[in-house]
Amino acid sequence: MAIKGQCTIDAKPYPFTFPLKHTALLVIDMQRDFLLKSGFGEIQGGNLEAVQASIVPTRKLLDACRNAGLAIFHTREGHVPDLADCPSSKLIRQGAAPNNSQHSLVIGDKGEMGRLLVRGEYGHDLVDELTPYPSEVVIDKPGKGSFWNTDIMHKLKARGITHLIVSGVTTECCFATSIREANDRGFECCGIEDATAGYNSDFKSQSLDMIHWSQGLFGFVAPLQPLLDALLPLTGTKPSGLTPPQTPPEWDGDLRITSLQAAYKSGLSPVTVAEAVYTKIEAYRESDPAVWIHLESKDDVIASARLLSSRFPDREKLPALFGIPFSIKDSIDISGLPTTTACPPLAHIPTASAPVYTKLIEGGGLFIGKTNLDQLATGLTGCRSPYGITHSVFHKDYISGGSSSGNAVSVGANLVSFSIATDTAGSGRVPSGLNGVVGYKPTRGLISFVGTTPACLSLDCIAIIAKNVEDARLVWQMVEGYDGNDPYAKPAIAFERHINSIGPQATAFKFGIPPQDVLEVCSPIYRKRFNEIVQRLQKMGGKLTRIDWTPFQKAGDLLYNGTFVSERLASLPDGWLEKNRNYLHPVILRIFEDVIKRRSTAVDAYRDLQAKALYTRQAEVVFAPTAAGVDVLVVPTTPTHWKIDEVLKDPIRLNSINGTFTHFGNVLDLCAVAVPAGRYDVSELSGVETDKGSLPFSITFLGGSRMDAEVLRIALQFQDSLHEGDGKGNRGYESHPF
Ligand code: TIU
């Protein structure tokens, strides 16, 4: 291993180098139907002995990759039970061959292991030796290639994968097709000779030769042993046969997901983490009693932690969020708990949980409590809740931001690892920026919004607040996915741009920023810091590119000055406002009354919808993959950091300024991630030399619809550049005093 984080192995046509963090093992179709007697493969005329010989080497490869911490993807070929995803050519061609005596059974027919190549049947599943672990990805594919009509490209990109180690059956069919498909999409692939097999030995060797022919037409081919040798030193686990440690490992309270995952793997108990979390929560209550609307009892959480330990006794096979403590905004339903949306007259006790919550629990997450928010998720300050005003974890006089105020504080104060919030006008990004944590708002419709109280339903979005970009990205992977019950869900499979896996293009990016006159809204220290960040991005290889700011400006204005605010009322029952005005927070009441006073008409609303479509199209041009287009837009997350007192005196105007760089995000169907970008002294903001302490600075990267993986990649690059050489990585919570 020459360069840190990279491996190089002997391969044809020349040595294959792969970055560990960006490499996945792809195990193709090691299904009973292809490997065992009476399966689909035998009907194909396959030599079963030949393919079965690949099982043991594939297991060795899988174990080595698991131990080295690589992402693991398995595929299974097969069809939905009514065969709606099976083209007639695939169904009929072989059986229709003249004098055919071999294909007496075709796809969907009942064989000895169930219906052939049909999902859910015994024969369709993977052989026992290669059963996936809970944290591994399984892709069900209807074709021979792994990319046709699947979301594998999306899932690989979402994990930052650029390099693939490929194994599985059969070499001449699905293995070769998948490598060719991956190659077209920009992946660097290396097929592993001993861990693939075909039904015809000549086909196997010729298929492998075709991959590396002509200086690597489709990729690389290598034997297994050099790869095992290269991965062995990276093995995180102890050699087997030793007595497990008798004392649990030391844990320093680091709640980053990746750190907790490593600690759990080596024996840390989730009960220890639950106890520590409650100690922190109690201590922080002194500083800020307004974080939680509902806190689970410590005993209940400890019981959940115990249950997790008994459900997952094997520490090698933990789900990704095993024992990871999280909080959730109190506008998101959890069965049996009140959802208040910080608006007591709207409180209800749901009988079903929001899918986003259910997925976290299924992934092993440890639920701690529901957090405070600006009433009806309307606001960007954290000063609009009957449950009290949260303050920034950095300073008691300064706002936490909102509306996901408690979410960001619970992460920023290190009470939980991550939090599930919402973001309509910036509610996930703004409080993250003001508390020194990461706030990621995926493209709308990628995470189900079902079971969440709407703020402005056609623009609402689930947001993820975490300690660093990689944690936010991991939580996204756990909770995203098409939900047919969400009318705004985006289709599961989308066009995905190719990736750049090697060369300078792998790290290069183009970025745009707001024009100088727009940046004038920022306080002097914010402008100074933003300019410094722009220089840093350029030093990292980012190319500052001129963009048309008009669609962002106009879309931002549309959100609050247009008719979209009326949509906030559309989700409430008729007459609700009249009945409940006395119970509303005075600022929220004022906003709603102003909306009513406008007497907007349907004509106004249609004009705004048309304007939204136009600006969205204009923004697509800004993010187009052309010479003039940019990969990301970079903005300061907020223009400044208000004091609580200032906001209380002028709540609507200052709130609106707070959203200058966030309002347009959902109107234009963008994705965005707010990332901490250092600190500054409070005195630099206030101008009062005697003011003590520091506050966080934050920038937001925005990208086009469904460009989440690209935006997160650049955000990660930026985050890493901030922590280069400090030996700590991004611990998140170290950046503030708690
Ligand atoms: N027929 C054949 O060789 N293979 C398949 O049909 N599927 C896979 O290769 N997985």
Q: Reply yes or no on whether the pLDDT at 241 is more than 50.
A: no
Please tell me what DSSP assigns to residue 44: T
Calculate mean pLDDT across residues 382-411.
Answer: 98
The SS3 assignment for 131 reads coil
Q: Are 698 and 677 in contact (CB under 8 A)?
A: yes
- Residues 159-216: pLDDT tens digits? 999 999 999 999 999 999 999 999 999 999 999 999 999 999 899 999 999 999 999 9
Q: Looking at residue 248, what is its pLDDT?
A: 63
Q: Are 643 and 662 in contact (CB under 8 A)?
A: no
Taking residue 450's Cβ as centre, other Cβ atoms within 10 Å add up to 19
Alpha helix positions (H), 145-269: 152-158, 176-184, 201-216, 224-231, 257-265
* Sign of the torsion angle spanned by Cα atoms 537, 541, 547, 550: negative
Q: Are 168 and 195 in contact (CB under 8 A)?
A: yes
Q: Which CATH superfamily is domain 2-85+103-235 in?
A: Isochorismatase-like (3.40.50.850)
Q: Looking at residue 672, what is its pLDDT?
A: 98
Q: Are 291 and 409 in contact (CB under 8 A)?
A: yes
The SS3 assignment for 695 reads strand
Q: How far is the CA of 37 from the centre of ligand 1 (A)?
A: 15
Q: Which of 637, 429, 625, 630 is nearest to 533 (CA)?
A: 637
Q: Looking at residue 217, what is its pLDDT?
A: 98
- Nearest atom, ligand 1, residue 46 CA: 3
Q: How far apart are CA 459 and CA 667, in angstroms?
A: 6
**Token output for 499:** 């990736």
Mean residue pLDDT of the chain comes to: 95
Confidence of residue 468 (pLDDT cuts 50, 70, 90): very high
Q: Looking at residue 737, what is its pLDDT?
A: 44
Strands 220-222 and 188-197: parallel
Q: How far is the CA of 91 from the centre of ligand 1 (A)?
A: 13
**Token output for 237:** 């686990």
Q: How far is the CA of 203 from the centre of ligand 1 (A)?
A: 12
Alpha helix positions (H), 669-726: 682-686, 708-723
**Token output for 568:** 């906030």
DSSP calls for 338-379: -B-TT-GGG-B--SS--HHHHHHHHTT-EEEEEE--SGGG--
Q: Is 21 a catalytic residue?
A: no
Q: At residue 83, what are phi and psi to the nearest 5 degrees?
A: 60, 20
Q: How far is the CA of 627 from the centre of ligand 1 (A)?
A: 41
Q: How far is the CA of 143 from the centre of ligand 1 (A)?
A: 10
Q: Is 698 a catalytic residue?
A: no
Q: Reply yes or no on whether the pLDDT at 240 is more than 60.
A: no
Q: Whose CA is nearest to atom 8 of ligand 1?
A: 174
Q: Are 132 and 126 in contact (CB under 8 A)?
A: yes
Q: How far apart are CA 106 and CA 117, in angstroms?
A: 9
- Nearest atom, ligand 1, residue 177 CA: 9
- Residues 664-718: pLDDT tens digits? 999 999 999 999 999 999 999 999 999 999 999 999 999 999 999 999 999 999 9
Confidence of residue 235 (pLDDT cuts 50, 70, 90): confident
Q: How far apart are CA 619 and CA 121, in angstroms?
A: 46
Question: Directed axis angle between helix 55-67 and helix 224-231, to 10°?
Answer: 20
Q: Looking at residue 247, what is its pLDDT?
A: 60
Please tell me what DSSP assigns to residue 146: S
Q: How far apart are CA 196 and CA 262, in angstroms?
A: 31
Alpha helix positions (H), 232-324: 257-265, 270-287, 298-311
- Residues 487-496: pLDDT tens digits? 999 999 999 9
Question: Directed axis angle between helix 469-479 and helix 708-723, to 10°?
Answer: 150
Q: Looking at residue 238, what is its pLDDT?
A: 46
Q: Is 178 a catalytic residue?
A: no
**Token output for 501:** 């896996």
Choose the catalytic residue: 167, 304, 327, 427.
427
Taking residue 626's Cβ as centre, other Cβ atoms within 10 Å add up to 8
* Sign of the torsion angle spanned by Cα atoms 242, 248, 252, 257: positive
Mutate to test the pocket of ligand 1, among 29, 79, 125, 206 (most ligand atoms within 8 A of CB): 29
Q: How far apart are CA 430 and CA 438, in angstroms?
A: 10
Q: Which of 272, 258, 708 is nearest to 490 (CA)?
A: 708
Confidence of residue 1 (pLDDT cuts 50, 70, 90): very low
Question: Domain residue spans in the chain?
Answer: 2-85+103-235, 257-479
Q: How far apart are CA 726 and CA 38, in angstroms?
A: 59
As a whole number of Å, the CA-based R_g of the chain is: 27
Taking residue 100's Cβ as centre, other Cβ atoms within 10 Å add up to 10
Q: Looking at residue 79, what is its pLDDT?
A: 98
Q: Which of 448, 440, 451, 390 is nearest to 415 (CA)?
A: 390
Q: How far apart are CA 54 and CA 66, in angstroms?
A: 18
Task: Kindly give, in sequence order, each residue whose CB lies less than 8 Å from that of residue 464, ignoring residues fewer than 6 positions away.
Answer: 418, 419, 420, 421, 428, 439, 440, 442, 472, 475, 476, 479
Q: How far apart are CA 430 and CA 380, in angstroms?
A: 7
Calculate mean pLDDT across residues 274-282.
Answer: 98
Residue found under tokens 């792809």: 26
Confidence of residue 738 (pLDDT cuts 50, 70, 90): very low
Taking residue 200's Cβ as centre, other Cβ atoms within 10 Å add up to 16
Mutate to test the pocket of ligand 1, among 31, 44, 89 (most ligand atoms within 8 A of CB): 44
Q: How far apart are CA 507 and CA 721, in angstroms?
A: 12
Name the least confident of 214-218, 258-262, 720-724: 720-724
**Token output for 681:** 């002294």
Q: How far apart are CA 476 and CA 469, in angstroms?
A: 11
- Residues 10-55: pLDDT tens digits? 999 999 999 999 999 999 999 999 999 999 999 988 899 999 999 9
Is 257-479 CATH 3.90.1300.10?
A: yes
Choose the catalytic residue: 403, 404, 432, 735.
403
Task: Kindly give, in sequence order, each residue whose CB lies less than 8 Å from that of residue 416, ignoring residues fewer than 6 positions away.
Answer: 255, 277, 325, 326, 327, 368, 410
Q: Looking at residue 560, what is its pLDDT?
A: 79
CA contacts within 13 A on the Cβ side of 34: 28
Q: Are 329 and 404 in contact (CB under 8 A)?
A: yes
**Token output for 618:** 């204009």
Q: How far apart are CA 587 and CA 598, in angstroms?
A: 17
Taking residue 59's Cβ as centre, other Cβ atoms within 10 Å add up to 16
Q: CA distances (Å), 727 to each of 250, 469, 647, 723, in order?
A: 20, 17, 39, 8
Any residues with Cβ below 6 Å from ligand 1, and which? 29, 34, 44, 77, 144, 169-170, 173-174, 199
Q: Whose CA is nearest to atom 7 of ligand 1?
A: 174
- Residues 317-360: pLDDT tens digits? 999 999 999 999 999 999 999 999 999 999 999 999 999 999 99
- For the chain, percent of residues with pLDDT exceeding 70: 96
Q: At residue 195, what are phi and psi to the nearest 5 degrees?
A: -105, 20
